[in-house]
Amino acid sequence: QPMIPGTVLLFTDETLRFQKVEGSESIGHLSEPKGKYLVIDGQHRLAGLHFFHEKHPDQSRQVEVPCLLFDGRSADFATEMFVIINSTHTRINRSHLVDLYEKVSWESPEKKFTAKVVNLLYSESDSPLQYKINRLGGRSKQEKWILQSEVFNELLKVVTAHKRWIESHLDMKADRCYALVRDYLKGVKDVMGEIWGQNERYMFTRDVSLKALIRVLDDLIVDRKLISAWEDQRSHQPFAELVKPWATLTKDFRADGFYERFPAKGQLERVRKIHQRLLDAIVG
C-alpha cells in the first residue's frame, strides 16, 4: 500500500497554467497558485505526511502524493464538493453539514430553508435556544442542550409535512417560520419556567425532550384556532395557554428516575414516549 492511499482533492479559485512537455500531450508542468490550496478531501492524509516529514525529512522527499486539482472555480463549487464527499455519518458530524446546506445549489429547498431557521434559533437574542444548540465550532461557552443536526432533523420533518401551509401562511420565509417556533418555545418556557434550563436536576431541556417538543409543534400547526390566535397576536401567549397542563408534569422530568418513567430500548423510542405524554396532557 502506498504512503498516501487515494487521491487528495485540492481546490483554488485561480486559473492555473499548464505547460506541456515537448513530445507529450498529457505530461507537463502546472503553475502554482499565488494563494494556498483548499483541501476538499485528504486533510488527514496530508496531516500525516506533515508529521512524517518532521520525523523523516529525507524519506519524505520520496513520497508521491496523487492529487486531483480543481482550478478556476467558485467557492460554492468547493463547498458542494465538500458536502457531497463528506455526507456520510462516518466522515463528518452532520451538524457541520447543516451549516453548509444554505450554500449548495443542489440541496432541496426544504433543507436550505430549515438550515436558515436553525441558524436563527441559535443566533437571535430573543430565541429560547440562543447559544444552546451545539454547532460544533460556535464560540459561545454556554452549556449546550442539543446538537444542531438533531434540531435540524426534527424541524425538517415539520417543514416537509407542512410545506403548503408554510408557503401560504409564512410566505416560505425563514424569519417568519422562526417567529412561529420561537413563540411556541417561549410559550413552553413560560409554563415550564421552573425547570427550563435546569439540566442538572431535570431533563426537560435535554436533547431527548427538546426533540419531543418540536414534534408536538408539528401536531399543533394543524390546530386552526391556535394558529389563528397566534397570527392575530404574534406572541407566545396562545401557545402558553394551550400547554398550561404541562405544569403538572414537572415531576415526570426529574433527572432522578427519568429513564424509569420513560422506559425505552433507545432514544428514538423514548422521544416517542415523551412526545405522546406531552400530547396527551393537552389534547387528552
Contact yes or no for 23/4 (Cβ under 8 A): no
Closest to 67 (Cα-Cα) out of 25, 102, 32: 32
Per residue in 34-68, pLDDT (tens digit) is: 988 988 888 888 999 999 999 998 888 888 889 99
pLDDT band at 89 (very low <50, low <70, confident <90, very high): very low
pLDDT tens per residue across span 3-15: 788 889 998 989 9
What's the first-to-final CA gap in the chain, in angstroms? 64
For residue 118, how many other CB atoms are within 10 A of its CB? Answer: 29
Q: What's this model's pTM, rounded to 2 decimal places?
A: 0.71
